[in-house]
């Protein structure tokens, strides 16, 4: 009953509502009574000094870490009660810092194995599924700038292309919320520009949360920035507002 009431109260415009989220590790609150709301089709960037709790917030949303208190509502569902796998099925995709692509498989195969298995409902008409998979793989490959590399083994891709491939492996599952941990780390300037372009394309169908330290990239992508410090929000809003906030300059940007 209470879950039903909560989902009714939730602003339908929010893709994600985090409220009072707290996690204690042996009494140390890495995330401390945190509340924030992400809109549909929004790119939210979380910034803050080392140890601020950024990665822990993503771990809590994707179910890798269990909350001590608080709620995470996504499309009216309470995620804190779900297992990691069920959170993926609910439509939340997460990319970690280190790519987990299969080097000895081609770009096509990497995307193909990531196609959701649950959609295999066509039974004997496997050729129809094959065609649907191929079409989707080609569509995603084109979004991630790898349409002409489909038959290339992943090990021969550049660092940036490997990062895009991993984003593609998440996109093929069509998540409504995609979370990326420092996606442009180690990328060249032109790869960073293309990654910004990629995010602006994929946001049409979903929301994205990015953890990032590269302020130029943050400026290029963020609709809104949340600055974390000691597990709490230090400042939040458009990049220009956050950048000019004396508290943010003191604990983060001024260093």
Note the residues at the interface with ligand ATP (CB under 6 A). 25, 30, 48, 50-56
Provide the 3-class DSSP secondary structure of residue 58: helix
Nearer to ligand ATP (CB atom), residue 92 or residue 137? 92
Name the minimum Å distance from CB 148 to ligand ATP: 35
Name the minimum Å distance from CB 174 to ligand ATP: 27
First-last CA distance in the chain: 49
Place of tokens 């990665």: 55
The first and second tokens of residue 13, run together, are 């415009």
Name the minimum Å distance from CB 213 to ligand ATP: 7
Nearer to ligand ATP (CB atom), residue 52 or residue 251? 52
Task: Report the b/e string of 52-83 with b at 16+ CB within 10 A.
Answer: bbbbbbbbbbbbebebbebbbbbbebebbebe
Residue 215 to residue 207: CA distance in whole angstroms: 20
Residue 199 to residue 183: CA distance in whole angstroms: 10
Nearer to ligand ATP (CB atom), residue 54 or residue 192? 54
Residue 211 to residue 46: CA distance in whole angstroms: 5
- How far is residue 26 from each of residues 23, 53, 172, measured CA to CA in Å? 10, 15, 38
Name the minimum Å distance from CB 252 to ligand ATP: 10
Nearer to ligand ATP (CB atom), residue 98 or residue 151? 98
Cβ proximity of 224 and 236 under 8 Å:
yes
Name the minimum Å distance from CB 30 to ligand ATP: 3
Nearer to ligand ATP (CB atom), residue 112 or residue 245? 245
Nearer to ligand ATP (CB atom), residue 54 or residue 95? 54
Name the minimum Å distance from CB 89 to ligand ATP: 24
């Amino acid at each position: 009953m209470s879950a039903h009431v909560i989902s009714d109260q939730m602003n339908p415009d929010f893709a994600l509502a985090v409220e009072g989220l707290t996690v204690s590790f042996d009494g140390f609150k890495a995330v401390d009574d945190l509340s924030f709301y992400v809109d549909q089709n929004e790119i939210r960037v979380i910034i803050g000094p080392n140890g601020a709790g950024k990665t822990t917030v993503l771990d809590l949303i994707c179910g890798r870490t269990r909350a001590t208190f608080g709620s995470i509502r996504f499309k009216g569902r309470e995620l804190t009660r779900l297992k990691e796998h069920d959170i993926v099925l609910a439509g939340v995709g997460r990319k970690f810092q280190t790519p987990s692509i299969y080097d000895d498989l081609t770009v096509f195969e990497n995307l193909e194995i990531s196609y959701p298995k649950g959609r295999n409902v066509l039974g004997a008409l496997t050729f129809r599924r094959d065609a649907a998979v191929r079409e989707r793989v080609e569509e995603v490959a084109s979004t991630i700038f790898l349409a002409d590399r489909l038959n290339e083994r992943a090990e021969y891709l550049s660092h940036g292309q490997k990062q895009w491939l991993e984003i593609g492996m998440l996109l093929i599952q069509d998540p409504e919320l995609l979370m990326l941990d420092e996606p442009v780390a180690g990328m060249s300037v032109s790869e960073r520009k293309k990654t910004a372009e990629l995010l602006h394309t994929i946001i049409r169908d979903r929301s994205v949360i990015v953890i990032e330290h590269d302020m130029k990239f943050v400026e290029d992508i963020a609709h809104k920035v949340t600055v974390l410090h000691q597990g709490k929000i230090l400042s939040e809003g458009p990049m220009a507002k956050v950048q000019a906030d004396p508290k943010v300059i003191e604990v983060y940007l001024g260093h």
